[in-house]
A and B are shown apart, each in its own frame.
Chain A
Amino acid sequence: KAGVTQTPRYLIKTRGQQVTLSCSPISGHRSVSWYQQTPGQGLQFLFEYFSETQRNKGNFPGRFSGRQFSNSRSEMNVSTLELGDSALYLCASVSGVENTEAFFGQGTRLTVV
């Protein structure tokens, strides 16, 4: 079956702009989580959606938001971009309520200039 699909793979934005990233989980998976990966901070949890509801949230400012649709696809939005938002954004797909195995997409590389 198809894996986790993240689009776009690469993105360049200017400071102050906003951006929307998309994640399509594995068919049948109901949970989608988002992570930010940077050389300085490593892998940090942003938020998790399960059946269209945000279930967990990390320690990121309100400029970072997300949503999940009825088909389990998820979008992540970052408003008023800052240089420090440059990172690899990874999406993880999990089939059920508990994390017994998360499948990751290849990520979206966001560069803010």
Chain B
Amino acid sequence: AQSVTQLDSQVPVFEEAPVELRCNYSSSVSVYLFWYVQYPNQGLQLLLKYLSGSTLVESINGFEAEFNKSQTSFHLRKPSVHISDTAEYFCAVSERAAGNKLTFGGGTRVLVKP
């Protein structure tokens, strides 16, 4: 069975400052890794994913995440946040070749202050 830990439940950050959201996972098999974002009263939107290949993955809106196999981490970063980045962010894993079950971390609420 796999598990996901997001080390920070809330992260306040000033506009234009950098932010890092930490995610560690535990699994006995190979996994796919994802970051999702949720705005109030909305579903989840995929931010970025790691399937294979380059360990650094980027999204179109400036976020990036790096897969570190030895540390079983998949931290999310953005060099300069905007007010519109205020949301809750979820790290998730799914086991390769084991269907479409996602295991989520507890979420990190990002509050961007002007």
Contacts and interface: CB of A to CB of B under 8 A. Distances in A.
Contacts, number: 73
B106 A103 contact: no
A102 B99 contact: no
Contact of A98 (B46, B49, B97, B103): B97
Nearest to A32: B100
B43 A102 contact: no
Given A42-B106, A43-B90, A102 B100 contact: yes
A33 B46 contact: no
Interface string B46-81: 100101000000000000000000000000000000
B102 A35 contact: yes
Give the size range of A's interface with the partner: 20 to 34
A99 B46 contact: no
A66 interface: no
B45 interface: yes
Nearest to B103: A45
Interface in A55-113: 55-56, 58, 90, 92, 94, 97-107, 109
A48 B101 contact: yes
By secondary structure, the B interface counts as loop
Chain A facing B: main interface SS: strand
B35 interface: no
B46 A42 contact: no
Q: Which 10 residue pairs are nearest across A and B when measured between Cβ atoms?
A: A104-B43, A43-B104, A99-B100, A99-B94, A104-B44, A94-B100, A106-B43, A56-B101, A31-B100, A56-B99
Interface of A: 4, 6, 31, 33, 35, 42-45, 48, 50, 55-56, 58, 90, 92, 94, 97-107, 109
23 contacts: A4-B43, A33-B101, A33-B102, A35-B104, A42-B106, A43-B90, A43-B102, A43-B104, A45-B101, A45-B102, A55-B100, A58-B101, A92-B44, A98-B94, A99-B32, A99-B102, A100-B49, A100-B51, A102-B34, A103-B46, A106-B42, A107-B43, A109-B41
